[in-house]
Amino acid sequence: MALAGSVRVMLHWSDVGGLRRFEDAIRALGNDTSRKVLARAVNRTGEMARTKVRSALTKQTGLKRKVIVAAVKTNRSDWEDLTFSLYSSGGDVSLKFFEPKETDQGVRAKPFNRSTVFPATFLRGGEWPGGRGALLAGGHAFFRAGTKRLPIERARSGVIIPAEMVKDASAEAFTSTAATVLPRRVEHEIKRVTKGVVS
């Protein structure tokens, strides 16, 4: 069974240390200008964090980058909500997305970037090895749900993208980028809008 879920990780300017030194400058800019400055800083930082999270998730899960890019969505900051968030939903990813190959023991695939054999799974119908037919269902791996030939169920990898987003290297990529980059981006945007007069 594929367990479905969703997760959202958020960057809010007020959640990051190192910004207190800009409080006077932000107040001096006035409400509209300061919110514009902060939204730009949050978005730029969030975009940099997103790039690092995608890279980390690609290595962490064993999925292709294009799959991660499609799975991890973005909500950008605006004047009213100074929050940049990454979110994803879904369940246990099919073995199809991890370079599956049939072997004598079962299907070999690479979830979590580790070559693993899934016993009693198969990609094709027919007798092994010489009587194998075409790929089933476009390349998905299956296993028999009971002792009989049918029914069969789709084999899963154990990789759940929302769960992987909030742990290990991908979580560290998001939080460390926010902590190190956001103060620099706020300072940059303040200097840019005031032509260096306020910092």
Secondary structure class of 41 (helix, strand, coil): helix
Cα end-to-end span (Å), the chain: 55
Peptide bond into 129 cis (omega under 30): yes
What does the alpha-carbon distance between residue 198 and residue 155 come to, in Å, rounded to a whole number?
59
Low-confidence spans in the chain with pLDDT less than 70:
1-5, 12-21, 24, 126, 128-133, 195-199
Q: What is the pTM of this model?
A: 0.83
- Predicted confidence at residue 109, as pLDDT, reads 97
Backbone φ and ψ for 70, nearest 5 degrees, come out as: -70, -30
User: In which element (H, E) is residue 194 found?
Assistant: helix 168-194
- Predicted confidence at residue 101, as pLDDT, reads 95
Q: What is the DSSP string of 128-144?
A: TTTT--SBSGGG--EEE
- Predicted confidence at residue 122, as pLDDT, reads 92
What does the alpha-carbon distance between residue 83 and residue 10 come to, in Å, rounded to a whole number?
6
- Predicted confidence at residue 197, as pLDDT, reads 56
Whether 154 contacts 139, CB under 8 Å: no
Whether 54 contacts 66, CB under 8 Å: no
Structure tokens of 61?
């899960």
Residue of 86, 112, 87 whose CA lies nearest to 99: 112
Note the Cα 179 to chain centre separation in Å. 19
Please list the residues that pair with 117 across neighbouring strands. 108
